Structure 1
Amino acid sequence: MTTMNQRVALVTGATRGIGRAIARGLAAEGFTVLLGARSVESGRKAAEGLGGDVRPVLLDVTDQRQVDAAAALVEAEYGWLDVLVNNAGVNVQGRRELDHLPKPSEEDVDDIRFVYETNVFGVVRMISSFLSLLHKSKAPRIVNVTSMRGSIGEEGAWVGQPSLSYSSSKTALNAITVHYAREFADTTLKINGAAPGHVATDFNGFRGTRTPDEGAAVAIRLATLDATGPTGAVFEDEHQLAW
């Protein structure tokens, strides 16, 4: 078991893109980073070359058994968790092959259920399973990786093509973030949403305008907030997004 002056962070969906950049950034901040991966091999490959203390962990957030096993591992090896970054996310294209982002009328209930299973229910599953370990930290932080598209206002849902399952899953995630933050407002636990912006990754066919490191910066900042930092808010860079 590590010493109490060592900080431990867990990042879900961290084998590529923004998640991997978050893992690299937290490792550079001195954290022992547990890199969540849906296969042992992908986790090992992703951890290579990141620098610092990065350790792959088998973790599919839609599988309660894997989540329980990961929580048991963290309990046995470290005894607490300082930072949980819920980065794992999917969109409709992860369920069925499409040559375009479908319009709301082209999506069905199974599409929505598929996306919510990871983007919403997976986050609740992770928080529920790791909350007791987070409470053992002196300065616990939860960062939920969201999107500007989750905002209902003019800077979110009314920008670009309407996206039913993905965007609404991020709206739900923002609401979940606020309700957890309200429950723990009188504790040292801070919970915020990080919107990385339009990042070029395989998630969007590399059409984004930002690098993964640029997108990861806000999550790293929120993961390392001091005691005076905010809770229950969503940020893109330094800008707090409206609901």
Structure 2
Amino acid sequence: MTIALITGANKGIGYETAKQLLALGHVVYLGARDIERGEKAAAELGARFVQLDVTDDASVTGALAAIGSAEGRLDVLVHNAGILANGAVDGPAALHAFDTNAVGIVRVTEAALPLLRESSNPNVVTISSSLGSFWAVTNPGRPESQMPLALYAASKAAATMLTVQYAKSQPGIRFNALEPGTTATDMTAAFGIGRAPEESARVVVRLATLDADGPTGTLQDENGTLPW
């Protein structure tokens, strides 16, 4: 039985990923900052709820301690929590974007590493973005080159680099970053674009269920590895 934790999972891609992993027989811990929304989502799915705010050290430590006490290990970690940061570009906004989209990955990963090391087949998936790819944003043929989301793009570049560096420093654990595809979520509602979250969640599940010989240290989309 595989034990999974998904951050920011009370809606969108995280929620659908939880739903699909549950359908495959995994035990899923649904992490959410808001207790009421998180408990409601977990109850709907049949998942287990943990209060987890990726910008709060005590919240992260408490969530992983609870999982460790109950399960003794963690097999799958999905870094899904994130913000679009499409407002003002200033110091406070930059700090908030990086704290959520990049530093949050460090907080959760560091707290999870002891549990991941107890797994016989550990996978970590970071929901990143091709907007954090230098190759994509400088390629006139790619839609990313026309999207001026400086703080989101920069923080997702950091998220991908953290994924690669963790893959190097933790060779016994697979770390992969994912461009999930343009998805209709709260984050993209203002743009009126994107496919159903369950379609993107299938890509997350593929990386979350890699075998021991699967890739590590990559940025991928549904078609394979992306340059960045």
| Alignment TM class, shorter chain as reference | over 0.9
**TM-score of the aligned structures, taking structure 2 as reference length:** 0.93
Specify the code of the residue in structure 2 equivalent to 1:67: V
Unaligned stretches of 5+ residues in structure 2:
none
Helix, strand or coil: the match of 1:172? helix
1:164 is aligned, of 130, 136, 150, to 150
Question: 1:64 maps to what in 2?
Answer: 57
Please tell me whether the aligned partners of residues 152 and 158 of structure 1 are also in contact (alpha carbons under 8 angstroms): no
1:90 is aligned, of 77, 83, 108, to 83
Instruction: Please report how far the alpha carbon of residue 157 of structure 1 lies from its aligned counterpart in structure 2 after TM superposition.
Output: 8.3
**TM-score of the aligned structures, taking structure 1 as reference length:** 0.87
* Residues 3-28 of structure 1, C-alpha deviations (whole Å, 9 max, x = no match): xxx21000000010111011111111
Specify the code of the residue in structure 2 equivalent to 1:75: G
* Residues 191-231 of structure 1, C-alpha deviations (whole Å, 9 max, x = no match): 00111111001111162221101111111111100112100
Q: CA RMSD in A?
A: 1.6
Question: 1:200 maps to what in 2?
Answer: 184
- Residues 158 and 14 (structure 1), Cα distance of their counterparts in 2 relative to 1, 3 Å cut: closer
Please tell me whether the aligned partners of residues 130 and 144 of structure 2 are also in contact (alpha carbons under 8 angstroms): no
Specify the code of the residue in structure 2 equivalent to 1:45: K
Specify the code of the residue in structure 2 equivalent to 1:209: G
Question: 2:161 maps to what in 1?
Answer: 175
Please tell me whether the aligned partners of residues 193 and 232 of structure 1 are also in contact (alpha carbons under 8 angstroms): yes
2:72 is aligned, of 79, 89, 101, to 79
Question: 1:210 maps to what in 2?
Answer: 195
CA distance in structure 1 between the aligned counterparts of 2:82 and 2:143, rounded to whole angstroms: 18
Instruction: Please report how far the alpha carbon of residue 239 of structure 1 lies from its aligned counterpart in structure 2 after TM superposition.
Output: 2.4
* Residues 15-57 of structure 1, C-alpha deviations (whole Å, 9 max, x = no match): 101110111111112110000011221112112332xx51111
* Residues 165-201 of structure 1, C-alpha deviations (whole Å, 9 max, x = no match): 001101111111111111123x2x1000111111001
2:215 is the counterpart of 1:222: no
Specify the code of the residue in structure 1 equivalent to 2:167: A
Question: 2:110 maps to what in 1?
Answer: 128
CA distance in structure 2 between the aligned counterparts of 1:210 and 1:46, rounded to whole angstroms: 21
Question: 2:22 maps to what in 1?
Answer: 27
- Residues 191 and 34 (structure 1), Cα distance of their counterparts in 2 relative to 1, 3 Å cut: same
Please tell me whether the aligned partners of residues 218 and 225 of structure 2 are also in contact (alpha carbons under 8 angstroms): yes
Give structure 1 regions of 4+ aligned residues with deviation exceeding 4 angstroms. 155-158
Please tell me whether the aligned partners of residues 188 and 194 of structure 2 are also in contact (alpha carbons under 8 angstroms): no
